[in-house]
Amino acid sequence: MPYLDHAATAPVRPDVLRAMWPHLAGGPANPSSRHEPGRTAAAALAWAREQIAASLGARASDVILTAGGTEADNLAVKGIALAAPRGRRIVTSPTEHPAVLESCRALARLGGFAVELLPVDGAGRVHPDDVAAAVDADTTLVTIAVASSELGTVQPIAQIAAIARAGGVPMHTDAVQAAGALPLSMAELGVDAMSVAGHKVGAPTGAGALLARRSLPLEPLLHGGGQQDGRRSGTEDVAAAVGLAVALRLATDGLEDRAAALARRRGRVAAAVAERLPSTILVGDPVDRLPGHLSWLIPGVTSEAVLLRLDERGVQVSSGTACAAGEDEPAEALLACGIEPDLARTQVRASFGAETTDDDLDAFVDELAAALESLMPTV
């Protein structure tokens, strides 16, 4: 049964579960407590922060543990903006995850911030020249994701971050889709803040982190006991932190070779779909994209019809960002690329990882062809 929806949630790694279990079954332990169980929990948290930082080219003091990528994005966008280092204007793109876009809109609605959505090309790419033209003395924040879950296109983050830095503007990047798929280093990218989520890299849902430079002004979203240096109050989930740390370490070990192999397999699947189903339209950049990510528009059918037919055949794929499941509106990212709304509603996305077999991918192509033949007999 091919599971090709890793961009929504990747399978949990057994080694991650084994690392988490002692912290779930070992008895009560609050890392803020002074007794021995508390000290043990605090030591596990410190280890997790070191591992997360090492996997992503940051420092342990930069790591803020969160309940997932959505919270990390909200903390980055709202936290940086509300700390108000300067200006009341946010520069972003229409291909961002809803956690970023809706945070920007909340700031516009409740805080009087202006939000500038940069143009993107047909593949959904932001051009650095447009960033340079947008950054001015009133810019509070630039936030551009490494890659969109719907398009797969990889953005020139290092160039964009350099422009923001030259303008004295903090730069955040949502790396939720890219972590574990592409080599990532916060230091090498030159960003001030970066969001990641555990369930995209082999940890359970409910674990995430915002890596934010310790010197970056950041207004907390959660107030309370002052945990995590006051940047995110609340008793830390030690098991989740350990799971995220182990998942990131496993995902980054040997990443370059694994990503290259996935990209080759991605190319083979793309070629097979193009040959057998020439009416399909590949979305995003055909080459400079996440290595295990493919997305098509299929004129003449709806996403829902194709997904249901594939699910009946034992193949799990998606229509785009899982956070918008059940929505009938076309994806904002696709519209920004110049795709008409009716066509945007036909998107089908397949995303896979190293454990996905060639047989799984071949079965997907066969079943997609069969599904479309049943839905459109003339295909």
Parallel/antiparallel/unpaired status of strands 208-212 and 281-282: unpaired
Burial of 93 (0-12, 13-18, 19+ CB in 10 A): buried
Tell me which residues are annotated as active site.
323
Beta strands in 222-273 (DSSP E): none
Three-class HEC string of 4-60: CECCCCCCCCHHHHHHHHHHHHCCCCCCCCCCHHHHHHHHHHHHHHHHHHHHCCCCH
The phi-psi region of residue 259 (left if phi > 0; otherwise alpha if psi is between -120 and 50; otherwise beta) is: alpha
d(CA 155, CA 145): 7
d(CA 147, CA 11): 20
d(CA 176, CA 197): 5
d(CA 271, CA 94): 29
- Secondary structure of residue 196 in the 3-state scheme: strand
Beta bridge partners of 174: 195
The phi-psi region of residue 87 (left if phi > 0; otherwise alpha if psi is between -120 and 50; otherwise beta) is: left
- Phi/psi of residue 212, nearest 5 degrees: -130, 130
| Amino acid (1-letter code) at residue 327 | E
